[in-house]
Structure 1
């Protein structure tokens, strides 16, 4: 019986943390439709958060690849005085990247709604 209460407590903590993270991401990261994203990304830093092999398989023309797994060590490559347009495959990783960037003082953050899988514009493959 005691282990059941512990399990329920752990589940409640996980759910509360997930809700907190969701609302925090909504506050710091503005999701943009493809049209809005297209209108602004050329004047900003376009960052592809996916891993190298995903990036090589196809990416938005002009994007720079900084995988989420390397973002902490490569954060110095991102300027805080220009908007940052982020995208990943479906939008999950770019939310986590935005939280890290926000902690480092980068505030002008945007995300491609739906991620790369919903992008219909020009792409480049390696």
Structure 2
């Protein structure tokens, strides 16, 4: 009985990890160079919290924290590419999942987040 519990627990943990890190259908992960070239003329969203955004963000990005994305989803145009980023790539992937589920057809994320960004930033 004790081993059965640990097997079930391990399966649950593996399922959670898979759901967290599994590829998202319709989501492209861009290198910083690709992200920078595709950002021009498209919607760029920084999904970090406001205090992180104020420390420095990609020029032209708007701040919609992941915690508030559902409430502000109607403010994001569906007729253009949407590029999202965060600090490391975890929150942006979650944001991208939300956007894809809500019907956004062209969503991309910055692979590695701000930690990989070498381009210009603004405060």
Q: TM-score, normalised by structure 2?
A: 0.92
Over the aligned positions, Cα root-mean-square deviation in angstroms equals: 1.4
Q: TM-score, normalised by structure 1?
A: 0.90
Structure 2 stretches lacking a partner, 5+ long: none
Cross-structure match for 2:108? 110
Cross-structure match for 1:32? 30
Structure 1 CA distance for aligned equivalents of residues 49 and 21 of structure 2:
23
User: 1:91 aligned to 2:89?
Assistant: yes
Cross-structure match for 2:14? 15
Structure 1 stretches lacking a partner, 5+ long: none
Verify the 8 A CA contact 1:50 1:89 in the aligned structure 2: yes
Cross-structure match for 2:119? 121
Q: Post-superposition shift, 1:20? A: 4.1
What secondary structure is seen at the aligned counterpart in 1 of 2:115? helix
Greater shift after overlay, 61-70 or 36-45?
36-45
CA deviations over 1:27-75 (Å, ceiling 9, x no partner): 2310111111111101210000000000001100100000000011111
Q: Which one has the bigger helix percentage? A: 1
Q: Post-superposition shift, 1:14? A: 2.4
Q: Post-superposition shift, 1:104? A: 0.7
Q: Number of residue pairs matched? A: 123
What secondary structure is seen at the aligned counterpart in 2 of 1:30? strand
